[in-house]
Amino acid sequence: MVTYIIRRLIQAVFILLILTFIVFGAVRLLPGDPLLMFLNATDIEALSPEALDQARHELGLDRNLVVQYGIWLGDILQGDWGKSLHFKNANVLQMIGQRMPVTIHLGVLAFFFSSVIGITLGVIAAVRRGRWADTVATLLANTAITIPIFWLGIIMMLVFSVELEWLPVAGYTPINEDFWLSTRKLIMPVICLMIGSLGAVARLTRTSMLEVIRQDYIRTAWSKGLRERAIVIKHALKNSLIPVITVMGLQVRFIFGGAVLVEKVFAIPGMGRLMVEAVDGSDYPVIQGAVLVIGIIVVLTNLIVDISYGWFDPRVRYE
Amino acid sequence: MKRFIMALFITVLVVGIFLGSCGEPEETTTAPTTAPTSAPTSAPTSAPTSAPTSAPTSAPTSAPTVTPQYGGVLRMITPMDPTVLGYPAESAGRATYYQYAILERMIIYAPDVWQNQNYQGILATSYTFENDMKTWTFQLREGVKFHDGTDWNASAAKWNFELRKEAGNSTTFNSMESCNILGPHTVQINFSSPANTFEVELATGIYFISPTSFENAGTTQEERIDWARGHPVGTGPFKFVEAILGDHVTYERFDDYWAGKPYLEGVEFIIVPDATTSKNMMIAGEADAYIYSEFKETLELEAMDGFYARYCKHHTPEGIWPAALEPDSHMYDKKVREAIEYAIDREAIIAAISLGSPEVEIMYQAPIPGDPAYRPDFGRHYDLNKAKQLMREAGLENGFETTIYVRSITGRWADMALFVQAMLAEIKITVNIEMINPGQYMTYLLFGWPADTLFISGIPNEPISNFVAARDYACSPAGVPKWNYSTVQTPEMCALWNELKAATSPEATRAAYVALSHQAMDDAVGIYMMDWPDTAVFADYVKDCDWIAYSTKVWNANTTWMAPH
Amino acid sequence: MLKRRKRELKFVEGRPQESEWKRFIRVFFGRRIVLFGLIVVALYIIVAIFAPWIAPYDYKTISSTILSQPSAEHWLGTDTVGRDVLSRLIFGVRPTLIVGSVTILIAAVAGTILGLLAGYFGGWIQTIIMRFIDALMGFPMILLALLIASLLGGGLKNIVIALGIALIAGFARVMCAQTLTIKENDYIIAGRSLGLTNFRLMWKHIIPNAFPPMIILATMNIGMVILMEAGLSFLGVGIQQPDAAWGSMVSAGYNRLTSNPALSVAPGIAIMLIVFSLNMVGDGLRDALDPRLRGTL
């Protein structure tokens, strides 16, 4: 088990190296000269071509790509994540430190509710297969994933905030500042964000639950006369969750993706918006730092998912 | 057959569900708002409102009918993040408005600046220039304190000027030879060449920060600069509290402000990237003002009860600019440029994209009415036959293919591109529309556009038009970055541009400017289309707020107050 | 409904052997909702083919009647430059389906090749390819697509490429897992001992056997791609005017939901319907093709 985890961690480091290098290269091909984002000079005539070259040199933009990557990596390991080209005083690590908790807050809520509701819907659909509950649950799960989420966000905002005035329109308040306000502000973003994952989780739970329900041991349990609910929850659910966990692991990535759109609609200062704005403005250090952090989180969740298989399925061995 | 009927039934059911879930918002929300297309809304309310409250000193006296009240935090929605806040040598670009309430300039535009090119004193009470505009002497305002409690005086001014020179990124300050303290509140600055745009720079981009706070901020200059970028310490009516990128920027009242205690407790900028969200926040009362608002949302909010909108004209003429630098390109030929201009029906385009608002005015030339270079009868009005004839004369009756660059795939510029595409098809020019991101736009703008293309953009304009002309019609060799709003460089224009740069008196500058402007218009440097206003929306209870009342470069935040609401 | 349940119970008890094809037809067309999905997809394709004859106007022609409400002449009103929304919706099927299918084709082909090579050869080839795939998986798809699209610039072709690359990882993973399972089968080992070339084994034996899960994945992903295109245009990178996929139409019109709801509601519902239908077809395909469900359905 320990060796397995260590081996996976070493692999994870390699994956992150590849990921950051790919993005490092891709970012440098983005149209637009990053130097101009950095200088943003009002008096551009004052900058002779020599002065521009000098500035480029100081930022290390004139060197070989691999060398630049090496320097960046070295700096990262020493805790120097660089500074935003656009927001010159903004330390990348600090920026990420400000925004990551926001996205995690949003993401954890979305992850939790999409899992709970998705699994519930899936179980209902499987147990009541063919009845109206199945039809309704399947329709709900499948309709939910068909809506463009930014559009859903605006529609909800119009209905619940502007018309009914039940919820705040937009913005973010940290949970420790004002729990109630923070939660009210997050209701709509979380619904938007969880809706895609919810459908996927519900569908998968239904399918794998259907498989398990027909296994011999469930039928045996049934014949022993245990109460239906106990069987379903204890045996069937635990066993059918194995593939679902895989999907839930992948949801982390989807939630980060969805956050990109949701954060823009609801003016939430999270990682998604940071990334989009950085890509828009060719802000290299920010893109690279954000990619690294998101990569670490996704890779680690995958590792946790793999380890948790063992808990759900004793047959799994770590080799 | 049974299956088919069943399938049909489900179709109806599912469609029903879809409609049920989506139909609701349309019905519930159409009621309160009026369609933006409907009859031009209320022209009178939008005229540059409440008698501009001139200098901040006059604030208490200019109170119209109601007595201003103290208290309240003004919450302003804005789409942009702040960049550099407290290191004046680095420009904050468009986000410079974050600096208005905390840092101050020596002079700012006076309310009549568009008519008379007047300035009003803030940190300076008066100034003179002599010696062919090379020597400038400033009399500084007394009794002004920085937020850190230190005094504003001649040595603080000198220190700030030297900080700018040290940064080395300004043509003006690069030619600064010396700066002398003539008295406790008198400072003199000497340039090696005529500084004929120095006033505009002082009024728009030269802020002053506290030398003491800066010097105490670190051991190396690099550390100090870095600190200053995020910690502005100025003399303005508000003190900087914090800036969280992507979320908010907050200021609190500076009680020792030289023009009297400001009315507001503080100012909070709320950063919201999406215009629809911003509008909804205003309706829900989650903000008191929406600045740099989208035009459509501005009109929609103005049509509702409880809001007033402000339209600030002349700062952003918008149009289409040709890349005509390469001698072998089609657009190098003035006839082609003229043909394109004659083929474009400005009135049709503006009728569509202004959504029927009278606030957008058609332009046919760069100078605005009242400008010394303005010629009332000048302009290439829509005339398809003339356009076709010019294309024939240029030997291009079969047209050619070109690209038009737009900065966004939706919105008014995208719509404008579609109109231009359709209109130029009439003279057989095939236009491909291409979207470019901000990074690409900046690169093209500074290093030049691909040959023989067009791009749609606004041009930042200032009331001091010779400054703008010197920037837009700059004659520089290829490779040297400049603002490539126009890439047309005729020998006549270059000669006049050099004359303008060398002008040593306001009169000479003015004469050179008029000549250059006329030449540029005659040479068809670009298609000025419309005077697109900068906009803002305020809740009714926000009073005496001179935000963009006459210029986007001025906000005397100390006069703003809020009635009970 | 009741009747169907009874029949099912009988199947569980044991059913006479039936041919693979017959079972596919029975299971696939057995669920009405799948049939519904198929009909919708077929309708969309018909609309795409006959768009010029169905649409009342040309989708590109701009006019001065901008932002008109739905009327007898314009059933869904007109957009910001006076184009007929209904016609744009009808012509919009084409780019929408192109984005959906070509993207998936790119991702599936590239993913299949990578996954196949990795799974078949194993060893360091597998390590390199799969770590590379893992790296792509470590990044949200829409951000990856946004990055690539910003790099290439907008436009239909580039959006398709960007989305295609972003989707490769999922296909490669499934293909690799499939190949690993299949290559342990006796017939592959036998084939190898008979001296069949690697290429022949891969092409003739592994790909056909790995086909079902890939086709399921592909169908399920088409809907997601259509939604991602909508998301990308909301972020400002999208298909260039004057062409418009529905995603771009929704994102161009969402800010007029109160004044001109048809601008974004119409394409929005069109998207929901096609995505729903494609997912149902995918569901049906899985029911019919997934070997694990063979005994139960």
* CB pair distance less than 8 Å for C139 and A291: yes
Task: Place C2 in a pLDDT band, splitting at 50, 70 and 90.
Answer: very low
ipTM of the complex in this document: 0.86
Nearest by CB to A266, from B227, B271, B277: name it.
Answer: B277
First to last CA, chain B: 66
> Pick from B276, B226, B232: which is nearest to B254 by CA?
B232
- Is A187 at the interface with chain B, CB within 8 A? no
Taking contacts as CB-CB distances below 8 angstroms, the residues of chain A near B271 are 267, 269
Which one of C32, C236, C254 has the shortest CB-CB distance to B408?
Answer: C236
C24 and A CB contact within 8 Å: no
Give yes or no for B24 touching A (CB within 8 A). yes
What is the mean pLDDT of the segment spanning B455-470?
A: 88
Backbone angles phi, psi at B539, to 5 degrees: -70, 150
Domain boundaries, chain A: 35-80, 92-312
| CA separation for the pair B167, A42 (Å, rounded) | 13
From the centroid of its chain, how far is CA B223?
Answer: 31
Residues of chain C with C-beta less than 8 angstroms from the C-beta of B355: 67
More confident residue, B469 or A282: B469
Confidence of residue B9 (pLDDT cuts 50, 70, 90): very low
Q: Which two structure tokens, joined as six digits, stand for C273?
A: 């319907």
Residues of chain C contacting residue A295, judged by C-beta atoms under 8 Å apart: 135, 138-139
Q: How far is C196 from chain A (nearest CA, A)?
A: 32
Q: Between the CA of residue B379 and those of B123, B364, B466, B470, B488, what are the distances in Å?
A: 42, 5, 20, 22, 18
Q: Is C278 on the interface with A (CB under 8 A)?
A: no
Give pLDDT, residue B49. 34
Contact flag C64-B434 (C-beta cutoff 8 Å): no
- Of residues B50 and A285, more confidently modeled: A285
Question: Within 13 Å of residue A115, how many CA atoms lie on the same side as its CB?
Answer: 18
Interchain pair A147, C272: CB under 8 A: yes
Lowest mean pLDDT among A48-52, B265-269, B327-331: A48-52
Residue A293: how many other CB atoms lie within 10 Å = 19
- How many C-alpha atoms does C17 have within 13 Å on its Cβ side? 1
Best of C34, C80, C232, C251 to mutate (most B CBs within 10 Å, chain B): C80
| C113 inside 8 A of chain A by CB | no
- For A120, half-sphere exposure in the C-beta direction (CA atoms, 13 angstrom radius) is 7
Q: In this complex, which chains have at least 3 CB pairs below 8 Å with chain A?
A: B, C
Task: Kindly determine whether residue B83 and residue A86, on different chains, have CB atoms separated by under 8 Å.
Answer: yes
Is the CB of residue C269 less than 8 Å away from at least one CB of chain A?
no
Contact A257 C141 (CB under 8 A): yes
Q: Tokens in use for B311? A: 């339209």
Of B14, B30, B353, the CB nearest to C258: B30
pLDDT value of residue A190: 94
Asked if the Cβ–Cβ distance from C32 to B10 is below 8 Å, we say yes
Q: What is the pLDDT of residue B251?
A: 96
pLDDT of residue C132: 87
Nearest to B270 by CA among B235, B243, B231: B243
Which residues in B130-140 are b (16+ Cβ under 10 Å) and which e?
eebbbbbbbbb
Closest Cα partner for B119 from B202, B17, B183? B202
Nearest alpha-carbon partner for B94 in B108, B79, B76: B79
- Which of A45, A168, A264 has its CB closest to that of B273? A264
- The span from the CA of B181 to the CA of B189, in Å, is 9
* Cβ–Cβ below 8 Å for C280 and A142: yes
Contacts with B, C 27-46, CB within 8 Å: 29, 32-33, 35-36, 39-40
Say if residues B333 and B488 touch (Cβ distance below 8 Å).
Answer: no
**pLDDT tens across B476-504, in order?**
776 677 788 878 888 899 999 999 988 88
Closest chain B residue to A269 measured between Cα atoms?
B246
Nearest CA in chain B to C242: B418
Closest by Cα among A251, B82, A277 to C140: A251
What is the reported pLDDT for B126?
A: 93
**Residue C223 distance to chain A (closest CA, Å):** 8
- Does residue B481 sit at the A interface (CB-CB below 8 Å)? yes
Residue B57 has pLDDT above 70, yes or no: no
Is A264's CB within 8 Å of B479's CB?
no
Nearest chain C Cα distance for residue B1, angstroms: 12
CB burial readout A252-264, b (16+ within 10 A) else e: bbbbbbbbbbbbb
Cβ distance C1 to A279 less than 8 Å, yes or no, reads no
**pLDDT, mean of residues A259-263:** 91
Mean pLDDT of C105-120: 91
Distance from CA of A300 to the nearest CA of C (A): 10
Average pLDDT over residues B368-395: 92
A273/B283 Cβ within 8 A: no
Highest mean pLDDT among A224-228, B40-44, B115-119: B115-119
Question: What per-residue confidence (pLDDT) applies to B52?
Answer: 36
A315-319, B75-79, B418-422, C95-99 — which is least confidently predicted? Answer: A315-319
pLDDT band at A85 (very low <50, low <70, confident <90, very high): confident
What angle separates helix A132-144 from helix A179-213, to the nearest 10 degrees? Answer: 130
Q: Is C272 on the interface with B (CB under 8 A)?
A: yes
| Cβ pair B33:C35 closer than 8 A | no
Distance in Å, alpha carbon of A316 to nearest chain B alpha carbon? 42
pLDDT at residue A310, rounded to an integer: 67
Substitution target from C143, C220, C224, C249 for chain A, most A beta carbons within 10 A:
C143
Residue type, B244: I
- Residues C152-176 have a mean pLDDT of 87
R_g of chain C computed on alpha carbons: 23
How long a stretch of residues is chain B?
565
The verdict on a CB contact (< 8 Å) between A264 and B283 is no
Between chains, do C257 and B25 touch, taking CB under 8 Å as contact? yes
Cα–Cα distance measured from residue B515 to residue A171, given in angstroms and rounded to the nearest whole number: 52
The nearest CA of chain A is from the CA of C159 a distance in Å of 15
Helix, strand, coil % in chain C, rounded to nearest 5: 75, 0, 25
Q: Summarize pLDDT for C189-215 with one digit per residue, the tens.
A: 787 777 777 788 788 778 888 888 888
Q: By the CB < 8 Å criterion, does C296 face chain A? A: yes
For B226, the closest chain A residue by CA position comes to A89
B102-116, B129-143, B392-406, C70-84: least confidently modelled range: C70-84
Does residue C13 have a pLDDT over 60? no
pTM, 2 dp? 0.85
Candidates C140, C258, C264; nearest CB to A257: C140
Task: For residue C61, report the phi and psi dihedrals to the nearest 5 degrees.
Answer: -65, 120
For residue B42, pLDDT over 70 is answered with no
Question: Hey, are the CB atoms on C140 and A256 less than 8 Å from each other?
Answer: yes
Q: Kindly determine whether residue A146 and residue C280, on different chains, have CB atoms separated by under 8 Å.
A: no
- Would you state the pLDDT for residue A188? 93
CATH assignment, C30-54+71-293: 1.10.3720.10
- pLDDT tens profile B221-245: 989 998 998 899 999 999 999 998 8
Residue of chain A minimizing CA distance to C138: A295
- As its CATH architecture, domain A92-312 has Orthogonal Bundle (1.10)
pLDDT confidence of residue A3: 83
Q: Kindly indicate the confidence band of residue A39, based on its pLDDT and cuts at 50, 70 and 90.
A: low
Nearest to C235 among A129, A210, A260 (CB): A260
Task: Name which of A30, A44, A52 is nearest B483 (Cβ-Cβ).
Answer: A44
- Give the integer Cα–Cα distance in Å for A175 and A105: 9
Tens digit of pLDDT for each residue in C222-264? 988 998 988 888 888 877 767 778 888 888 888 888 888 888 8
Residues of chain B in contact with residue C269, where contact means CB-CB under 8 angstroms, are 18-19, 22
The least confident of A52-56, C13-17, C225-229 is: C13-17
Rounded average pLDDT over C49-63: 85
CA distance A125 to chain C (A): 14
pLDDT at residue number B7: 45
For chain A, what is the radius of gyration of the CA atoms? 24
Answer whether C29 touches A (CB < 8 Å): no
Which residue is closest to C82 within chain B, CA to CA?
B352
CA distance A179 to chain C (A): 29
d(CA A23, nearest CA chain C) in Å:
9
Q: Which residue has the tokens 């469609």?
A: B15
| Higher-confidence position of C188 and A121 | A121
Q: What is the dihedral of CA B486, B489, B494, B498, to 10 degrees?
A: 30
